[in-house]
Structures are given as C-alpha cells and as structure tokens.
Amino acid sequence: MQVGAEKGIAAQVLTDAGVNLEQARAETLRLLGSDMPAAAKGGSGAAACSGDMLLEALVACAGVTLNAVATALGIALRDATVRAEGELDFRGTLGLSKEVPVGFKTIRLQFDLDTDASEEQLATLLKLTERYCVVYQTLARPPQVEVTRA
C-alpha cells in the first residue's frame, strides 16, 4: 500500500436500468479500500468518503440532466453510461504532507451514449448537459464559501 501514490477514485451510474448509485458506491469503495487502510480513513472502510460522494453527485446530476436535455431535444437514448473519475494525492488529505493540496487535482466526466443522434446533436446534448448540470457548474465555477460558527 502506498498512501502517497496518486490514486484515482471513480463513480459510475448506469442509466439502462435506472440510476445505480449502490454499484457506484461499491466501485468507489473497492478502489479506495485497496489504497488506504481503514484507520487512515478514520473509520471501518465500509462507508463512502466525501470524495466518493462528490463524484457520485456529479455523475447522478449529469445523468439526470443528460436525460432531461435529450428529452427536450428529441434525442432518443437507447442506453447511456456516465462516469466520473478523480485524481487526488492522499498525503494532503491525511495531513502527511503540507506541500500536497487537499482535494482532487483533476476530475474527468465521460458519457458513453447509444443513440442514432448525429455528431452535431451529440455536441449540443453534451454542451447543454454541462450548462444545466448544477454539480458540474459548481465544480467548474466554484462559489464563494463562507464558514461560520453557530
């Protein structure tokens, strides 16, 4: 096990049988579980971490938005898979190195679409999915965050 190695985590939602967040959670836990000991994660390793949930939220939001935009544009999707992968260095998250930033260095969002839509229609579909996906837009253009004490 190398805690300092750059390991990515991934989330996937399959839309052919509905949104499958449990499968996404299982896959992210499998990937993270092999990379970090449970004690280092602050728990048993059985629960999703915040990085898992962030990618799952992105995938779920992009999937719902994709479906809504496809419907609005009249694009029939026989099947669609949305995947998000992120790369982070756990040394920052675990406080092992002050030089390593906490959080994802990169996030990749991938759409695998089974449709008869033209390339032009697909480009429009993805452009509008990005435009109206709340989680994507929040990550792409981070809002000001205020921290207060109650």
The per-residue pLDDT for range 121-136, each reduced to its tens digit, is: 999 999 999 999 999 9
d(CA 119, CA 47): 40
Q: What is the CA radius of gyration of the chain?
A: 17
The pLDDT assigned to 23 comes to: 46
Threshold 0.75, pTM exceeds: no
The per-residue pLDDT for range 7-16, each reduced to its tens digit, is: 444 444 443 4
Q: Is 53 left (phi over 0), alpha (psi -120 to 50) or beta?
A: alpha
Show Cβ contacts of residue 42 under 8 Å, excluding neighbours closer than 6 positions: none
- H-helix or E-strand containing 38? helix 38-41
14 CB neighbour count, 10 Å cutoff: 19
**Domain ranges in the chain?**
6-140
Q: Which tokens sit at 28? A: 């992210």
d(CA 26, CA 53): 12
- The CATH fold assigned to 6-140 is GMP Synthetase; Chain A, domain 3 (3.30.300)
Apex CA 28: angle with CA 43 and CA 18, to 5°?
125
